[in-house]
Each structure stands twice: as C-alpha cells, then as structure tokens.
Amino acid sequence: MEGFVNVAAHLEEIDLYMPHFVFYRRGIRSPGIGVFGEYIGVEHNSKVTDCYCTACHERYEDDINSPKHYKHKKFGYCTHCRAPVEYRQMNYGRSTYYYTKNFAVFEGAGDRMHIECIKVSQKFEDEENELQPVLDWHTVTRYELEPGRATQYRLVWERPGYKWKPKKGKAIEPNFTLGCFGYGDRSYTLINHEAVSHSFLKYLFKDVENLPSLYIEWLCRYAEHHQLEYLMHGGLYQVAEQYVTKNLHGIRLNWRSNDLKKIVRLHKVEIEYLAKDDGLWYRDYIHWRKNTFEGKTPAETIKYYSKFRSSERYIKEVQEITNLTTKKIMDYTLKRRNSEGPAFFLICWRDYLRDCIELKYDMQSESVIMPKDLFTLHERTQHILEGIRDAHMNDELQKSDIKRKDLECVDMELGLALYLPRTVKDIAREGAELSHCVGGYADRHAKGKLTIMFLRTLRHPGKPYYTMEISNDLEIVQCRGYRNNLAHNPKPDTIIEFERRYTEYLAVVKENRRKAKEKEARKKRQQTKAKTKAKVKAA
C-alpha cells in the first residue's frame, strides 16, 4: 500500500492553500556584516524594511512601502511575488505558528482512481533563524475506485505495525477529526482534481460549477453504480442526491437495470411529472402510491397525487370514520369542494363527521356521511352543538351564581349598577361589543373560577359599558371599557370612584360571608351535639 498516492509530488499545489507570511524588521542596514547584512535597530529613523516571504522564499528589502506599512498580524501582499500574506515581526518566536488543513489528493486515470485524504500541518522549527515553515502530513484514509467498486482503507494495528486494510461496509466521507471527541472535521480541499476528468468518473459532474458536499461519497456511489449518472441527467438529480445522502427512507433503487424507468420503478409519465421538481418528491410519491392510492394507470395516480398529496392525513381521518375507499373520498371531495381546495374541504368534512358522531346521527347512512351540501350541514351541526354546549354551561353558571348574588350592587349617587351576566352568551356579546377579550373568560366564569360582572349606567342599563373581573378572594382584578381603554378613551372619574367604593363594599361582603360561614359551622356543631345527646339518651 506504500506509494498509493505520491503526495510529495503535489506539495507545491498543497502549499498554495496554506497561509503565508512576510516576516519583517526595521532598521538601518550596515553592509558587509553577516549573510544578509546586519540591521541596527534604530526603528524610528529607518527608511527600508528587511523582509522574508514564505510564499516566494525571497529575502528582500522593501523600499516601496514605508516601514509604517508593516504591522504585526496585519494582512497584506508580498511586494516581491504579490502573494496574499500576513505580516509578522521577524524578531518574535515562530514556534507557536501552527496551522493544519485537510486535503483529498487525487491520482489515477482510466478505470482506476486513488484518493488519499491527508491532514497537512505547517509549522516552524524551534531554531530562531529559520524563516521557512515545514509542511508535514499524515494520511487519514484512502479510497480506491474502479468501475463497480469503491473501497475505503483504514489504518489498522496488526503485529508488527499499522496496516492499511479495506473498511467493511460502504465507503463513506472522510473524517479528519483527531481522536474520538468533537464534531466531525469533514471539509477538505481537492488536489490534482483534473485526474477525475481523465478517468471513468468524468461524466458525473461534467459542467457542474459547484461540486456538492459529500463529494467523495458521490464518487464512491458513482463508481459502484454508473447509472447514478442517468438519474442526474434524466431529470432526477434530487433522487440521486437522496440516494447518496441515504435519505431515500427505505426505497431501494434497482441497480441491476440500465433502464432509468426500471431503476426508479416509475413509468415514463411519472418520471416526466416528478422531473418538474428535479425528483424532489420522488420519495413522497412512491410512499403515496404504495400506501394511499394507486390508480389503474400512472396518469390516474398522478392526477390524484397532485390534488391530494398534502391531504393524506385528512383522508385517513375521514376514512376511519366512514370506512369509504380512498378513491370514493377523493372523488366526493373533488365533486363538492369549493374554491378553497381539497384540503380545506377534507378538514370541514372531518369536523362535520365528528359533529355527527357527537349528535349520534346514523353513521351508516350515505346521506349523512356524504351529504349534498356539506358546508351548510356543517354550519347546522355546529350551531346545534353550540346550543347544547351553551345550555350545559348555563346550568353550571346558575349553580355558581347562587353563591355570588351578593356581589351585585347599585350606586344611585354615581348612577351606576353592577350585575352578573344572565347567560354565557351575554359574556360573548359583551366582549364583541366592547372589543375586548372577556369572551374568553366565559368558561371560567360559568365554572365559578372567577367572576365577570357588567357595569352599566342606570340610564342605559342594556348597553355594555364597563366589564369587571372579580377574583374569588374578592378583589377587583380588572375593570375595562371599550377596547381596553386604549382607543383614546381614558377611564372617567365616576368609574374610578366606583371602583374605590366597590372595593370597600367587597370588604363588607367578605366579612358577611365569613360571619355566615361561622354561623353555619356553629349550627352544624349544635346539630351534631343534639344528635349525640339524643343517641346517648336512646342508649
């Protein structure tokens, strides 16, 4: 396995992707001393800068840029070779400058392609005068691709040392992560990539500008099944991608065939239909055809799929209630739906059917489950159910109201009256007329969890004015007028005064209730006492 890919031959290309530096120092040159001449560190008087560039390996004096141009860790260009570099002070230690990058090096032609995935590091020797970094690399994994086969190799310990062994299972993307922790480091730069265009792999991404992620995995799958190319060029790019990225969710492609129709198990018209979206809905379509509905012809399947693809769930829900066939449900929907579309109709239908069950209608009767005018009938069932629910809530309301009649009061002086809503509907109406959200409190009010009260002027007792919420420990939680008093209608003084007086009134109610409770308890105690006395006597 030695000499799998000659990495050393590609170091020059690899070096282009590594960071480069210009090391600089300022001073006055004193010729004739040392190899490059000695610089005397009189920084503020210097006119030239002594430079070394790691890209072109040149040592030179820059008399174009002023010495002030050079700043430590600033990005710029080498004046000699114009390479983009980072400026670094020459006198600083370089041993901490360490950089690594991942590469996939390609080598091969014709029916064979080798890929060596390497991690390259660039570092400086500890030696202070060494200005040129050293590149070092180690191989992470290797691939050998040939028509019908893609083999990935990994390094395995086997006495007396490490050996490259074929990996079991499918070849997958390289992982450059060192050790077992951290996120997968999977990005890499392609080196000598032209080799692909001289090999059997050349057609897959021909004329494609941006190569996809998981590029090596694409190549491996393509080496295994050259038909992958037919999917790409037959309008089903997304299917190819879902195959490579293992996102086909259990759908197996038939690689034994060379016919695209047989590979994806679709009819010609189905391929044409799905190719409109590059095959994005292939998976969805296959599942639909298998689990929901397959017509007598592919055209029929497509017709229903295109109209009901997003309504599968509602079809199933209607089906559970009615036991109708999928086709019957879809046909009825297409016949009766309005402009809102099939999904809207199906949701309405499902809700209507649930209403029918609640109302104990005959669910065997076709005229019940498939009515001529579903929308009108749905309105009717909702209306009936609403009435039933309201009646139930009003029963609760009356039970709650017996205990809180004492909250009602009239203030003749302010001309205001506060009373309990008579029905649940009254609360909804109040919310609608005053444009605030009291309607949502109706349920809790009926159950006695809180109390909603209407504040009216004595002059217009029928007209919604202010609405109050009283908590069960008898405190005013809120008192709101039209649009929560946010429509340039601040609370009038009479209301504020009423709130003050009512708070006092509530304290009285509280005291009265406490006394009543005590009285009740006393009565009970006396009764039990009397009972025990009677028992004792009887004994």
Residues at the site binding Zn ion, with contacts judged by CB under 5 A:
53, 55-56, 78, 80-81
Nearer to Zn ion, 60 or 305 (CB): 60
Minimum distance, C-beta of residue 43 to Zn ion, in the bound complex (Å): 23
First CA to last CA distance, the chain: 109
Nearer to Zn ion, 55 or 105 (CB): 55
Q: How far is the C-alpha of 242 from the C-alpha of 252, rounded, in Å?
A: 11
**Residues 306, 311, 316: CA angle, nearest 5 degrees:** 125
Burial (0-12, 13-18, 19+ Cβ within 10 Å), 519 = exposed
Nearer to Zn ion, 81 or 190 (CB): 81
Nearer to Zn ion, 78 or 330 (CB): 78
Minimum distance, C-beta of residue 82 to Zn ion, in the bound complex (Å): 7
Token pair for 23: 């090391």
Q: How far is the C-alpha of 508 from the C-alpha of 31, rounded, in Å?
A: 107
Largest CA distance in the chain: 136
Minimum distance, C-beta of residue 217 to Zn ion, in the bound complex (Å): 38
480 sits in the region (left: phi over 0; alpha: psi -120 to 50; else beta) called beta
Nearer to Zn ion, 22 or 479 (CB): 22
Nearer to Zn ion, 85 or 150 (CB): 85
With tokens 């590609």, the residue in question is 10
Q: What is the three-class DSSP state of 81?
A: coil
Strands 21-30 and 84-89: parallel
Residue 24 in contact with residue 54, Cβ under 8 Å? no
Strands 84-89 and 75-77: antiparallel
Minimum distance, C-beta of residue 204 to Zn ion, in the bound complex (Å): 38
Helix (H) or strand (E) holding 75: strand 75-77
Q: How far is the C-alpha of 299 from the C-alpha of 468, rounded, in Å?
A: 63
Nearer to Zn ion, 81 or 347 (CB): 81
Q: How far is the C-alpha of 76 from the C-alpha of 22, rounded, in Å?
A: 9
Q: Count CB atoms within 10 A of the CB of residue 67.
A: 19
- List residues bridging with 222 in a β-sheet: none
Minimum distance, C-beta of residue 263 to Zn ion, in the bound complex (Å): 53
Q: How far is the C-alpha of 496 from the C-alpha of 164, rounded, in Å?
A: 88
Minimum distance, C-beta of residue 250 to Zn ion, in the bound complex (Å): 56
Report the sign of the C-alpha dihedral through residues 263, 268, 271, 275, in that order: positive
Nearer to Zn ion, 70 or 222 (CB): 70
Minimum distance, C-beta of residue 52 to Zn ion, in the bound complex (Å): 9
Nearer to Zn ion, 21 or 176 (CB): 21
Minimum distance, C-beta of residue 74 to Zn ion, in the bound complex (Å): 16
Minimum distance, C-beta of residue 70 to Zn ion, in the bound complex (Å): 14
Q: How far is the C-alpha of 203 from the C-alpha of 205, rounded, in Å?
A: 6
